[in-house]
A and B are shown apart, each in its own frame.
Chain A
Amino acid sequence: MNFLEWIKQPWPWYVAGPLIGLIVPLLLLIGNKAFGISSSLRHVCAACLPANIPFFKYDWKKEIWNLFFVGGIIIGAVLVTQFFSNPNPIELNPKLAADLQAHGISNFRGMVPTELFSWNSLLTVKGIIMIVIGGFLVGFGTRYAGGCTSGHAIMGLSNLQLPSLIATISFMVGGFIVANLIMPILLKL
């Protein structure tokens, strides 16, 4: 296997997880910043449409580092995708693959199933629920909870915060309910 083929392989959890964990001290050391992504959504609200809402009346420019950080995520994703993305379909648990195929989802090449997440499916019932309403729940829920997977699950738990543990358990419970009970109904739509 040559180097290019090797680097195109997906990374196992024991490589990716510790690297993600190292972003916590990295951000602390380079500028005293706590790892977190969802605040960026709030800063966009504060910058673009504060509408005199107290929650958005703060000096978002002081938090601009967060917008640079999420901008970096987009750039990093573009770089990987252009130069060393995995050419093969994702290796899924055969049970899940069979179940999805039974619901007409058979393209496992991308990060998202194109049958559900594409501009063509945007104006279908499924598309509106998954692309539009799903996104709304993410944005509303994460702010209501005070953080997302990075802010609560990784940064908060790294700092041994009980509220973050409670939030993380709630994330998982919510996800288990939808993935096991609601998703089968959604896929039939």
Chain B
Amino acid sequence: MNTNTIESVKEKKHHEFLSENTDFEVRSMDTMCVNESELRHPVWHNLKYMAAGILFGVILIKAEVVSWFRIQEMFRLQSFHMYGVIGSAIAVGALSVFLIKKFKIKTMYGEPIEFISKKFNKGNIIGGLIFGFGWAITGACPGPLFALIGNGATVIIVTLFSAIAGTWVYGYFREKLPH
């Protein structure tokens, strides 16, 4: 078998893997995080994601994005700050995604970067509203929950466990909920 055939067999296998893997299918409906890398690295390689997390944590605190007060201001239309943060983050993110697609930029390991489209379901609206209720009450979405704990608001550990419980209860009733 020459290299080309091996490549095409590999590719075919990968597609079969994607289409037959129901776990993948379940996940694609529920999370953005569906990229499958077939590269296997030792666990310490994950430290680079920790470094990215540290950067994100620093920004969340320094920009006061995790502040309950800033979130109230945002929802009462009393400040531009949060709209500026989220809006400019999307602008930079969108430009980056555009450039990655246009120039077919690869990962540092040389893998092609894959984007998978999300399918609409009613949960985007119903769940979105419920999340919005919780966001306004706690002043925190999931990222800030972690940042607030690091900031010293230790009682937010309870909020984090509640959020994990909420995720679990969703998983339990998932089949019965409208999607």
Which residues of A line the B interface, CB within 8 A?
10-42, 44-45, 49, 51, 53-59, 63-66, 68-81, 84-85, 90, 92-93, 95-96, 100, 108, 110-113, 116-119, 121-122, 129-164, 166-180, 182-183, 186
Contact = CB atoms under 8 A, between A and B. Distances in A.
B60 A81 contact: no
A159 B172 CA distance: 30
Contact of A17 (B85, B134, B135, B151): B85
Interface string B11-39: 00000000000010011011111110100
Nearest to B111: A32
A122 B155 contact: yes
Contact of B167 (A13, A84, A134, A140): A140
B151 A28 contact: no
A13 B92 CA distance: 13
Interface of B: 23, 26-27, 29-35, 37, 43, 45-76, 78-97, 99-100, 105, 107-109, 111, 113-115, 117-121, 123-143, 145-156, 158-172, 174, 177
B124 A117 contact: no
Contacts of B27: 58
Chief secondary structure at chain B's binding surface = helix
14 contacts: A20-B85, A28-B107, A57-B23, A74-B150, A80-B62, A100-B69, A117-B156, A118-B155, A119-B154, A140-B127, A140-B169, A142-B141, A174-B130, A182-B133
B124 A16 contact: no
B72 A179 contact: yes
Contact of B92 (A10, A18, A74, A179): A18
A54 B172 CA distance: 9
Contacts of B159: 131-132, 134-135, 138
Nearest to A158: B93
B62 to A, nearest CB: 4
Given A130-B137, A139-B166, A140-B169, A174 B78 contact: no
B158 A30 contact: no
B62 A36 contact: no
Contact of B26 (A33, A54, A156): A54
